[in-house]
């Protein structure tokens, strides 16, 4: 017998022992146990052997293991009324069957399973003492929005210029509510000083405009102003980084000309965001609970409407102006997404339809109009104080970007 033939049985043995060790250690001293480490190892091996014989052997094995688990529960329920061990027995048998064909997958699932088993106190404490009823209710609403409504929507282009795609529009709603939810959870775990920095930077790589709007709403709901503004500004940092990365795939020449300007803007804006968030309290845990609710559908729908309208204007401008008005077209496209207009101009340059100077000017136009959109969203969703603080960081970064790009362009 070769090692390849032995591997499924060795994997199932390891899985059974791992789960068995955890189950033995979880039982308090003196309590009756229905199954120990050896039993779990045997269950996993039996699952592998049953799969080797036939699928019907696995079905019969599930019935037998289920019966044995029920009998064991009847004997030990006086000491432990829970059914975790019985569920673990059945799972171990099935993981053993899975290991016959997919040993690596079975091992991975077993590790996750053991982590869940060993995290009993942590999970129970989190659910009973940390999470509120409001947060559970809002989590369910978000799951409906993301995993029930979204898959049901048609994914096809409708309306003028094909921009009214129901699935794409609702995806933006999911993104807006998801970023708000992630920001809320990050503040709960890391505190307002660090939580929104992480959320803002990560969300910016998906949509800086949506992340800016979400940060503004979090501030409106009670999150400290410096932390919310810093998160929104770091979303724009992600825009500069992503711009060079995306355009570099199309044209190394354009990327080489852009990266000094984008790097300078990134350093300036990151420094402003970092300096601003230092005035935020560093509390964590329950004391760091942000204001408002983690899920708010109405603001997300309003902001989605604004961004969709901006996309419609951008597409209309690009369609009307064509390649001859590349700068204006890129600026119009930037109303919806900075990368779309910049990518279009770079593609035209790479195909020889635009010279390098015009392509760079179009990229600046796309970034500029996108900054205007983010500013409007900051003021409309977060109020005057949020909007002014946001622009106080983003506008200097944009000026640095344009200045460095003009200087390197002359060189």
Answer whether 381's CB lies under 8 Å from 211's CB. Answer: no
The whole-angstrom separation of Cα 189 and Cα 117 is 22
Could you tell me if 292 and 221 are in contact, meaning their C-beta atoms sit under 8 angstroms apart? Answer: yes
Taking the chain (411 residues) in runs of 10, the rounded mean pLDDT of each run is: 79 90 73 73 92 91 88 70 80 92 89 87 73 79 88 84 78 75 69 74 78 85 85 89 80 87 93 80 47 66 68 62 61 69 73 76 86 90 91 93 80 49
Judge whether 145 and 51 are in contact, CB under 8 Å.
no
Distance CA 256, CA 268 (A): 20
DSSP letters spanning 241-263: HHHHHHHHHH-HHHHHHHHHHHH
Which residues does 17 contact at the CB level (< 8 Å), separation at least 6?
37, 40, 41
Per the listing, tokens 């997919």 go with 102
Radius of gyration of the chain (CA): 28
Reading the block at residue 162, the tokens are 């094909």
pLDDT of amino acid 287: 42
Which pLDDT value is given to residue 288? 46
For residue 111, give the H/E element and its range.
helix 103-118
User: Please, which residues have CB within 8 angstroms of residue 219's CB and are 6 or more apart in sequence?
Assistant: 225, 228, 229, 382, 383, 386
Residue 2 DSSP code: -
Q: Taking the CB of residue 77, how many other CB atoms lie within 10 A of it?
A: 14
Residue 283 confidence (pLDDT): 47
Whole-prediction pTM: 0.57
- Contacts of residues 128-131 at CB distance under 8 Å and 24 or more positions apart, as own/partner, are 130/188, 130/286
Taking the C-alpha atoms of residue 122 and residue 116, their distance in angstroms, rounded to an integer, is 10
CA distance 36 to 38: 6
Nearest partner of 233 among 382, 392, 366, 367, judged by Cα: 392
> Residue 316: what pLDDT?
66
Residue with tokens 């109303």: 335
**Cα 400–chain centre separation:** 30
172, 299 in Cβ contact below 8 A? no
Question: Residue for token digits 């309003």?
Answer: 302
Q: Is 243 left (phi over 0), alpha (psi -120 to 50) or beta?
A: alpha
- Residue 252 is predicted with a pLDDT of 84
Distance CA 240, CA 398 (A): 10
Query: Nearest to residue 43, comparing CAs of 70, 22, 72, 12?
Result: 12
Place of tokens 């992600």: 238
Instruction: Please list, in sequence order, all residues whose beta carbon lies within 8 angstroms of the beta carbon of residue 391, skipping any fewer than 6 positions away.
Output: 375, 378
Q: Tell me what pLDDT residue 266 has.
A: 93
DSSP secondary structure, 76-97, as one string? HTTT----HHHHHHHHHHHHHH
The vertex-304 CA angle with 299 and 309, nearest 5°, equals 130
């Amino acid at each position: 017998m070769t090692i390849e033939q032995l591997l499924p049985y060795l994997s199932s043995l390891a899985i059974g022992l791992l789960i068995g060790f955890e189950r033995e250690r979880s039982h308090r001293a003196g309590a009756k146990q229905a199954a120990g480490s050896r039993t779990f190892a045997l269950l996993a091996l039996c699952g592998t052997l049953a799969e080797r014989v036939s699928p019907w052997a696995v079905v019969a094995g599930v019935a037998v293991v289920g019966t044995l688990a029920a009998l064991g529960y009847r004997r030990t329920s006086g000491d432990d009324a829970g059914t975790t061990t019985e569920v673990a027995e059945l799972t171990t048998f099935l993981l053993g069957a899975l290991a016959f064909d997919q040993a690596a997958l079975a091992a991975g699932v077993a590790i996750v399973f053991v982590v869940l088993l060993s995290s009993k106190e942590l999970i129970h404490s989190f659910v009973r003492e940390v999470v509120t009823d409001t947060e559970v209710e809002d989590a369910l609403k978000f799951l409906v929005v993301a995993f029930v409504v979204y898959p049901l929507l048609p994914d096809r282009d409708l309306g003028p210029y094909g921009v009214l795609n129901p699935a794409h529009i609702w995806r933006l709603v999911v993104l807006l509510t998801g970023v708000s939810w992630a920001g809320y959870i990050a503040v709960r775990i890391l505190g307002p000083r660090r939580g929104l920095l992480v959320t803002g930077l990560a969300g910016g790589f998906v949509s800086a405009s949506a992340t800016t709007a979400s940060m503004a709403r979090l501030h409106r709901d009670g999150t400290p102003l410096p932390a919310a503004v810093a998160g929104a500004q770091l979303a724009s940092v992600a825009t500069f980084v992503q711009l060079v990365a995306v355009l570099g795939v199309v044209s190394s020449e354009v990327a080489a000309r852009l990266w000094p300007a984008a790097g300078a803007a990134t350093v300036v804006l990151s420094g402003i965001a970092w300096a601003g968030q230092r005035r935020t309290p560093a509390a964590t845990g329950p004391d760091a609970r942000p204001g408002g609710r983690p899920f708010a559908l109405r603001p997300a729908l309003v902001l989605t409407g604004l961004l969709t309208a901006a996309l419609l204007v951008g597409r209309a401008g690009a369609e009307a102006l064509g390649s001859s008005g590349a700068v204006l077209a890129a600026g119009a496209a930037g109303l919806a997404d900075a990368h779309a207009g910049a990518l279009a101009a770079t593609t035209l340059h790479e195909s020889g339809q635009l010279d390098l100077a015009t392509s760079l000017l179009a990229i600046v136009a796309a970034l500029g109009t996108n900054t205007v959109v983010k500013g409007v969203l900051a003021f409309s969703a977060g109020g005057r104080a949020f909007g002014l603080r946001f622009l106080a960081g983003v506008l200097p970064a944009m000026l640095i970007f344009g200045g460095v790009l003009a200087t390197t362009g002359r060189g």
